Amino acid sequence: MIHFSVQLDHVHLIAEADSERGLAKGMRGLTTRCALAINRAAQHRGSVWHHRYHSHELRTPREVRQAMTYVLLNFRKHLRAAPGIDPRSSGIWFEDWKEPFTPSAWPRLVARPRTWLGAVGWRRAGGALDVRDQPSSRPRK
């Protein structure tokens, strides 16, 4: 998992995997671990996830940059919030904001990107992300 945003009833994730099987296995492990923690905190039993997940392979620098904007600034779309870093996202650990920003000293909850697209390729589609960017109403396919 390299980026996330937690919404009221769903989450947005950007993940890297070596294969479809690796992604499926990683997502199964993540959803199981989250469901156990949520049920424990809510003193509840049973299903947490109503649906599995939707995946879309990001293939170009532009797609990755748009997905990162959508995930890291998603609260601007849903809440019409002022420019800033979504407090319910992994944006506090993101190091490539256009304006100088000191990443959080809290333990990092996301991995550093290992692929070319996730680490540097996305910059070719517009450079560093700006907290004033507005996510599109839905990611382009």
| Domain membership flag for residue 137 | no
| β-sheet bridge partners, residue 14 | 3
Structural domain harbouring 21: 3-125
pLDDT value, residue 56: 87
- pLDDT for 108-137, tens place per residue? 999 999 999 999 999 999 999 999 988 876
Query: How many angstroms separate the Cα of 95 from the Cα of each of 98, 102, 112?
Result: 9, 8, 10
Q: Which two tokens stand for residue 53?
A: 């997940």
In contact, 75 and 81? CB cutoff 8 Å: yes
- Give the pLDDT confidence score for residue 55 in this predicted structure: 81
Q: Model pTM?
A: 0.85
Domain for residue 50, yes or no? yes
Kindly report, residue by residue over 17-38, the tens digit of the pLDDT: 999 899 889 888 988 888 899 8
Residue 136 lies in a domain: no
> What pLDDT is recorded for position 97?
94
The domain total for the chain is 1
